[in-house]
């Protein structure tokens, strides 16, 4: 279905908004002073037009800082009044959305945990449909493109055309250098399927640490993302949430100065270039293959240790035969050549046997 044709372009959301859209501000509003200090610094720098701050924070475990609630909306009003920045916050319930509208919040975002729940999305749609404010929809925590698209479509079908997606990465099945696995191929698919839908990158949540934000943000710009949302805090080390990934206003200014922004009109021709897009998907998939291979090897090591302690031999013929057959069958179902699957598997298996043999001989697991 090629829908979302009538999405309103970002520059038509508000006077003076540019594409790429830059949004910055703290993960959470913590105090009036912290909010105003950040907003004043960002306004002075003049790089962003939209200020973000989370008021209601969805936390994995109860008892951690869950946001300042409604009083934070007054601070956002003050930001608007005193700096002229537009303001945005996360809404997760109908009540949040009502409050955001009541306090004149200029745009709202739907968090990753909320996007995943169609009932919650529908409740937000019901409140936001007549508010005429832009809605930014973060990807769900799991890499489920249909669920992400579904949430966006729910808003669109209710007549909300000031819409954008925010790519904040996905829960990593394995530890990696980044907090969230980007799976750029999903964001690229989203862009390809809905060329009118702006897609903004949230490099802060993908990176998870300040030092990797530039790398992630630059990658997003190279892929012609339509904006960035970056977490900025006057004193990141004492931030009440996401402290490792927040930048000081100064570091944010430096980030924007160091990034290469491409000319979107001439760049879009490049971006649409088939090879660029497909190669990027391949890069991302290769990265995931290696992460999975490393994960597999750690499991193999666990078995090695167990075999050593129980004095069982490394090579178990029946297990190998069943691995081979089941993977060949699986490969066939996926359209992969039998010989290809076999030789790939033999390589993987050979390395596993070697690793286990080393363990049984008493070498350390890192030593192959
Ligand atoms: C946030 O933006 O601070 C946030 C909680 O994001 P996400 O929903 O992406 O985890
Ligand atoms: Mn955050």
Give residue-wise pLDDT tens across range 158-214.
Answer: 999 999 999 999 998 778 899 999 999 999 999 989 999 999 999 999 999 999 999
At 21, list the tokens: 């859209």
> Which residue of 29, 72, 111, 121 sits with most ligand 1 atoms within 8 Å of its CB, as the best mutation to test the pocket?
111
Write out the CATH class of domain 10-258.
alpha beta
Percent of the chain with pLDDT over 90: 76
Percent of the chain with pLDDT over 70: 95
45 CA distance to ligand 2 middle (Å): 22
Judged on CB neighbours under 10 Å (0-12, 13-18, 19+), 198 is: buried
State pLDDT tens for residues 222-260.
999 999 999 999 999 999 999 999 999 999 999 999 999
162 CB under 6 A from ligand 1?
Answer: no
State pLDDT tens for residues 325-363.
999 999 999 999 899 999 999 999 889 888 888 888 876
pLDDT at 270 over 80: no
205 CB under 6 A from ligand 1?
Answer: yes
- Global model pTM greater than 0.85: no
Q: Containing H/E element for 76?
A: helix 71-83
> pLDDT value at position 175?
80
99 CB under 6 A from ligand 1?
Answer: no
| Closest ligand 1 atom to Cα of 109 | 2
pLDDT at 302 over 50: yes
138 CB under 6 A from ligand 1?
Answer: yes
Where do the CATH 1.20.59.10 domains begin and end in the chain? 269-360
CATH number for the domain running over 269-360: 1.20.59.10
Spatial contact of 250 and 236, defined as CB atoms under 8 Å apart: no
State pLDDT tens for residues 130-159.
999 999 999 999 999 999 999 999 999 999
Q: In angstroms, how far is CA 109 from the centroid of its own chain? A: 13
Q: How far apart are CA 54 and CA 26, in angstroms?
A: 7
Mean pLDDT over each residue of the chain, to the nearest integer: 92
| Closest ligand 1 atom to Cα of 111 | 8
Where do the CATH 3.20.20.70 domains begin and end in the chain? 10-258
111 CB under 6 A from ligand 1?
Answer: yes
Q: What is the band of 116 on the pLDDT scale with cuts at 50, 70, 90? A: very high
pLDDT at 264 over 90: no
> pLDDT value at position 367?
36
24 CB under 6 A from ligand 1?
Answer: no
At 105, list the tokens: 């919040």
Q: How far apart are CA 4 and CA 138, in angstroms?
A: 17
67 CB under 6 A from ligand 1?
Answer: no
Q: Which residues contact 75 (CB under 8 A, 6 or more apart)?
A: 29, 32, 35, 36, 53
> pLDDT value at position 199?
97
Closest ligand to Cα 168: 1
């Amino acid at each position: 279905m090629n829908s979302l044709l009538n999405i309103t372009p970002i520059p038509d959301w508000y006077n003076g908004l540019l594409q790429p859209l830059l949004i910055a501000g703290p993960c959470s509003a913590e105090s009036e002073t912290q909010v105003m200090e950040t907003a004043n610094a960002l306004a002075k720098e003049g790089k962003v037009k939209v200020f973000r701050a989370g008021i209601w924070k969805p936390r994995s475990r109860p008892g951690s800082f869950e946001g300042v609630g409604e009083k934070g909306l007054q601070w956002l009003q003050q930001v608007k009044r005193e700096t002229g920045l537009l303001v945005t916050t996360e809404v997760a319930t109908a009540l949040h959305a009502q409050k955001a509208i009541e306090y004149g919040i200029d745009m709202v975002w739907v968090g990753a945990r909320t996007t995943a729940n169609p009932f919650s999305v529908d409740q937000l749609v019901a409140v936001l449909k007549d508010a005429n404010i832009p809605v930014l929809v973060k990807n769900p925590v799991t890499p489920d493109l249909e669920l992400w698209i579904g949430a966006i479509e729910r808003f669109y079908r209710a007549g909300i055309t000031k819409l954008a997606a925010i790519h904040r990465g996905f829960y990593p099945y394995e530890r990696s250098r980044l907090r969230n696995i980007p799976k750029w191929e999903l964001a690229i698919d989203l862009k390809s399927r809905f060329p009118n839908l702006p897609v903004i990158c949230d490099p802060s949540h993908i990176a998870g640490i300040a030092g990797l934000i530039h790398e992630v943000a630059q990658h997003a710009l190279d892929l012609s993302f339509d904006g960035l949302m970056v977490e900025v805090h006057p004193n990141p080390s004492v931030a009440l949430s996401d402290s490792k990934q927040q930048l000081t206003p100064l570091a944010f200014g430096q980030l924007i100065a160091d990034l290469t922004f491409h000319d979107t009109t001439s760049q879009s021709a490049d971006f649409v270039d088939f090879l660029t897009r497909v190669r990027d998907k391949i890069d991302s998939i290769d990265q995931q293959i290696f992460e999975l291979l490393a994960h597999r090897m750690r499991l193999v090591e666990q078995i090695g240790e167990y075999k050593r302690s129980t004095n069982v031999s490394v090579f178990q013929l029946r297990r190998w035969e069943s691995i081979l057959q089941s993977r060949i069958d699986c490969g066939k179902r996926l359209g992969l050549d039998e010989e290809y699957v076999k030789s790939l598997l033999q390589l993987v298996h050979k390395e596993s046997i070697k690793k286990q043999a080393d363990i049984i001989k008493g070498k350390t697991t890192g030593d192959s």
